[in-house]
Structure 1
Amino acid sequence: MKKVLMLCMTAGLLISSVESIAQEKIKYSKEDLKIMDDDLFDEVFVGVSSKKLATVVLKDGTKLEGTATNLKRKKGQIYSIDIKVGSGKKQTYESDVISEMYLPISGMAKASKVSKYFGNVNNFGRKSLKDSANPDEVFVKNVKASLKNKKDEQEFLMQLINPEFSSLIEVYADPNAKETGGISFGGGPAISGGVTKSYYVKKGDQVIWLKKSDFEDQYNFLFGDNPEFMKQFPYNSIKWDHLSYLIYQYTKLAS
């Protein structure tokens, strides 16, 4: 009996030791942290130009090219849009019949983003001014989601902001998302802050509203099925600001 107890105690110590190693904090180099701080997500735009052509693809495969107006939204997400093709009449399309859209960005929306870019010194390192000033359109997809994880699921048209690394985890804009606060001196650009605090994230068939405050609770859902990733990027060694980099690396490791 004593031998059994000793074996159990030894096994327990080994398991404890392994868990300790797995949870050991990793200290990344300054060069690594600089890369991890880069914001790889596309800029979020809500201002749509009614003077340029939009492309709308319906679920039945029909492709429409025309001017887009009267976008109706809930919590910032599109659920209805009017499209006028050529000299025809405007027609209203609900989100449940649309597969995806390419919407032209208004000049005012671009100008607002450029102004915001120069309003926070952190943007100079995290984002590219080109991404704020030069995109011509945004890519929008049909997503069935519960707004803020509270309402019944409904189909919306959301901007995909990680199109280049979205094969495993899709990240969609939350137009009403708040940002972390910053400090400004003498009316100059803010120092720190300016990091988006929520997104809609789709992995597999599940879509969640992911908030900064819920990041730790959802970390295993996002990345826990890849042991190598969890070893390289344990939660206690990263921060919310690294989300785009983490999703990029998670996708890369799985390829």
Structure 2
Amino acid sequence: MKFKALLLALSLSSAFSFAQEKVKYSKEDIKKMETYLFNEGFNIPSPKKISTIIMKDGTINKGYCSKVDSKRGQIYEIAIKDSATKKQITFNAENVSEMYIYPSNAEKIAKVGKYFGNIRNFGTKKLTKNTTAESIHFINQTVSLKNKKDDKEFLMQLINPEFNDIISVYYDPRAKETGGFSVGGSPQLGGGVIKSYYVKKGDKIMWLHKDDFEDNYDFLFGDNAEFVKKYPKKSVEWDYFSFLVSQYTEMTNG
């Protein structure tokens, strides 16, 4: 029995090692994987469009956003001027289930300028995501900011609503970007890759930085052997993260 158990262990180990072998991708594959599929993250709500706040008890409130209080960019309190009574009402994140707000025009204009300021964006991002006319979805999550602070409830922007069945990715307003270079005020070459997000899978939500991506690869994707074989840890890069989440979701859901 011990011998059979040893053979089984060796077999599983060999299979896992095979699945983790490096894969060489074509230029077309890499271009596809570098395409940024997440929605754009926004920080400033429009005071001119009606926001919708849904409480944990199911109550729905609508009004014009008048104030947002945040910690490290994550919202813990929001105030609206009620669209019917015109009275200002303040809501604490711990009482809110989700909300839908619109980004301000000023921020959208600034993001368009930033888009054209980096040549890499032309091939990896859609300009229309910076000028969206749609509302932004925020969801209540209890999280430790940057995995260092005490757990607290915040309203966090979901940026992969089209493929968040298994892994939900939330905007990190304080995220930095990889560096590039420019000459004489010309558009930047390279860089511009967002370095961190808040990521939730199952009951676990964490701040995920690019430096910790490899350490968390197995937690995020390791339960899908087909995915691991096609996109092994040693072959993929942080730059592909949005594609990997999308592809993992598609392959897992079948």
Normalized against structure 2, the TM-score is what? 0.93
CA distance in 2, matches of 1:218, 1:40: 20
CA distance in 1, matches of 2:193, 2:4: 50
1:237 aligns to what SS in structure 2? coil
2:119 aligns to what SS in structure 1? coil
For residues 97-246 of structure 1, the aligned pairs below 5 Å read 97-246=95-244
2:162 aligns to what SS in structure 1? helix
> 1:23 Cα deviation (Å)?
2.5
Unaligned runs of 5+ in 1: 1-5
1:44 aligns to what SS in structure 2? coil
CA distance in 2, matches of 1:11, 1:168: 30
1:122 aligns to what SS in structure 2? helix
CA shift in 2, pair 1:214/1:51, >3 Å: same
Contact kept? 2:20, 2:228, Cα under 8 Å: no
> 1:223 Cα deviation (Å)?
0.6
2:54 aligns to what SS in structure 1? strand
CA distance in 2, matches of 1:118, 1:82: 33
1:200 aligns to what SS in structure 2? strand
Unaligned runs of 5+ in 2: none
> 1:51 Cα deviation (Å)?
1.4
Contact kept? 2:19, 2:225, Cα under 8 Å: no
CA distance in 2, matches of 1:93, 1:17: 54
Match in the other structure for 1:3: none
CA distance in 2, matches of 1:47, 1:34: 32
One-letter amino acid matched to 2:232: P
Contact kept? 2:195, 2:210, Cα under 8 Å: yes
CA shift in 2, pair 1:188/1:24, >3 Å: same
CA distance in 2, matches of 1:7, 1:164: 45
CA distance in 2, matches of 1:153, 1:7: 46
One-letter amino acid matched to 1:201: V
Normalized against structure 1, the TM-score is what? 0.93
CA shift in 2, pair 1:113/1:9, >3 Å: same
Segment drifting more, 127-136 vs 231-240: 127-136
One-letter amino acid matched to 1:127: K
The answer as to 2:38 corresponding to 1:35 is no
Match in the other structure for 2:89: 91
Segment drifting more, 129-138 vs 161-170: 129-138
Residue by residue over 1:21-46, the C-alpha shift from the partner in whole angstroms, topping out at 9 and shown as x without a partner, is 23321011111111111000000111
Contact kept? 2:103, 2:136, Cα under 8 Å: yes
Match in the other structure for 1:47: 44
CA shift in 2, pair 1:254/1:14, >3 Å: closer
State, as a whole percentage, how many aligned pairs show the same letter.
Answer: 52
Match in the other structure for 1:61: 58
CA distance in 1, matches of 2:208, 2:129: 23
Number of aligned positions between the proteins: 250
Segment drifting more, 167-176 vs 128-137: 128-137
CA shift in 2, pair 1:16/1:67, >3 Å: closer
CA distance in 2, matches of 1:107, 1:7: 66
Match in the other structure for 2:20: 23
